[in-house]
Amino acid sequence: MNYIFISPYFPPNFENFCSKLKEEGVTVLGLGSEPYDTLSDTLKNSLTEYYKVENMEDYNEMLRACGYFAFKYGRISRIESHNEYWLETDAALRTDFNVYGIKDDEIHKIKLKSKMKEVFQTAGIPVAKGRIIMDMDDALRLIEEIGYPVCAKPDNGVGAAYTYKIDNLEDLKFFYGTKPNVPYIMEEFITGEIHTFDGITDRNGDIVFFSSFIFDKGVMEIVNEDLDICYFSVRELAADLVDYGTRTVKAFGIKERFFHLEYFRKPDGSLVALEVNIRPPGGLSVDMFNFSNDADLYSQYAKLIAHGKFDAEFKRPYFCAYAGRKTNKNYQHSIQDILNKYGSLIVHNGVIASIFAAALGDYSFLYRSPDFEVIKEVTKYILEK
């Protein structure tokens, strides 16, 4: 089996996918723009070959690279990046090389928020009121219907980039004076926690693993208001979340892929769909699933790809939490203080790549416990100012 891994070095923990795929007998072919010498030894040892392009945004370069791999190694079985930014490139390459997975004719429903909304609605899942807006007059008409505040975000966007919370006419004018010239969707602003439904499906579209994170704040607020971030995996998932999540997976036809689905849990307890991401959750989230289960999802994914098997049990014996600290804030306790006090609970700590810093902080801690009160205590200590 030949597996082309797009940008295998980013984020750094995703090199684990490459090493585990190799262990299962897969020929892993790396494709990216970073010089080979900058790759880690683990990644170098996991790749049968690495093809460097000058610019990954140049589709012709990417096409030539895949053509080279196909000529040298034979039929390509999978093309994947596991990265939101490259999903459309992945789909285009799969289309051109007739490779299994999401292709050009399917990508719009998992990249365009307006299309996601339509699929959610066909599955009978509540969504925020809103739609694509054409101009300022159209936005004012929508606001007249749903009221302030509203949230405006690119219809085809990644993360919280160029996302706005609009509370009044002044904010609306600022939005139109600063937004990029791309289609925008505007929706009612929903207050509540973000509850995710994350997992993996097999080739039949059956869910073989699922879990959930709870975020007390959205990425937009964390980035725009320069807030701390903390979130945690749960041990028991609410029945309505599992129901909505399962229906969403079926409605979007997710097969042999990770998924990261987001819902708002409103103050009244109800759920509203936010968006679908057909990739692993970002940052260190896959590692958090591993720590919360004493398992190895990287290995399980590789077995699924290579042999169609997924044989791990996931009983979630731990809550696993993430706390990110920002260098511009005055925290009460030093990193060494934290390690001295809670070192037995901390399973990972380290610097976060600068591209993620606005959302995930500059320095991160992962910690776990079967007791949620302990998780809250550690979080408070880490983020105390």
Residues 25, 125: Cα–Cα separation, whole Å: 41
Domain that holds residue 142: 129-188
- The answer to whether the beta carbons of residues 167 and 148 sit under 8 Å apart is yes
Q: Are strands 184-188 and 130-133 parallel, antiparallel or unpaired?
A: antiparallel
CA atoms within 13 A on the CB side of 248: 33
Which parts of 207-268 fold into alpha helices (H)? Answer: 219-224, 239-252
Query: Are residues 316 and 182 located together in one domain of the fold?
Result: no
Instruction: Decide if 170 is inside a domain.
Output: yes
**Is 297 within a domain?**
yes
Q: How many whole angstroms separate alpha carbon 332 and alpha carbon 385? A: 5
CA distance 141 to 138: 5
Q: What pLDDT shows up at residue 291?
A: 97
Q: Where are the alpha helices (DSSP H) in 74-201?
A: 87-97, 104-111, 113-122, 136-146, 169-178
Residue 90 and residue 135 share a domain: no
- Output the pLDDT for position 217: 67
Q: Is the residue at 117 inside a domain?
A: no
Please report whether residue 123 resides in a domain. Answer: no
Instruction: Give me the helix-helix angle, 15-23 and 297-307, nearest 10°.
Output: 50
Number of compact structural domains in the chain: 3
Query: Are 181 and 67 found together in one domain?
Result: no
pLDDT one digit per residue (tens) for the chain, 385 residues: 999 999 999 999 999 999 999 999 999 999 999 999 999 999 999 999 999 999 999 999 999 999 999 999 999 999 999 999 999 999 999 999 999 999 999 999 999 999 999 999 999 999 999 999 999 999 999 999 999 999 999 999 776 678 899 999 999 999 999 999 999 999 999 989 999 999 999 999 999 999 999 997 666 677 667 778 899 999 999 999 999 999 999 999 999 999 999 999 999 999 999 999 999 998 899 999 999 999 999 999 999 999 999 998 889 999 999 999 999 999 999 999 999 999 999 999 999 988 888 888 999 999 999 999 999 999 999 999 9
Q: What are phi and psi of 24, to 5 degrees?
A: -90, 10
Question: Hey, which residues does 2 pair with through a beta bridge?
Answer: 27
State the pLDDT at residue 55: 98
- Judge whether 199 lies within some domain: yes
- Structure tokens given for 126: 């509540």
Euclidean distance between CA atoms 345 and 319, whole angstroms: 11
Q: Are residues 229 and 297 in the same domain?
A: yes
CA 184-187-188 angle, 5° bins: 155
**pLDDT at residue 312, as a whole number:** 86
- Whether 36 and 17 map to the same domain: the answer is yes
- Rounded CA gap, 132 and 324, in Å? 34
Examine the domain organization and report whether 85 and 220 are in the same domain: no
> In terms of domains, do 52 and 197 share one?
no
Residue 370: CA atoms inside 13 Å, Cβ hemisphere, count? Answer: 3
Give the CATH number of the domain where residue 162 resides. 3.30.1490.20
Q: At what angle do helices 297-307 and 285-293 cross, to 10 degrees?
A: 100
Q: With beta carbons less than 8 A apart as the criterion, state whether 137 and 186 touch.
A: no
**Is 221 in the same domain as 184?**
no
Helices (H) and strands (E) in the chain, counts: 15, 17
pTM (2 d.p.) = 0.93
Residues 315 and 208 in one domain: yes
As a whole number of Å, the CA-based R_g of the chain is 21
Instruction: State whether 221 and 326 are in the same domain.
Output: yes
Could you tell me if 199 and 147 lie in one domain? Answer: no
pLDDT at 134: 95
Contact 192, 266 (CB under 8 A): yes
What tokens does 348 get? 């990972």
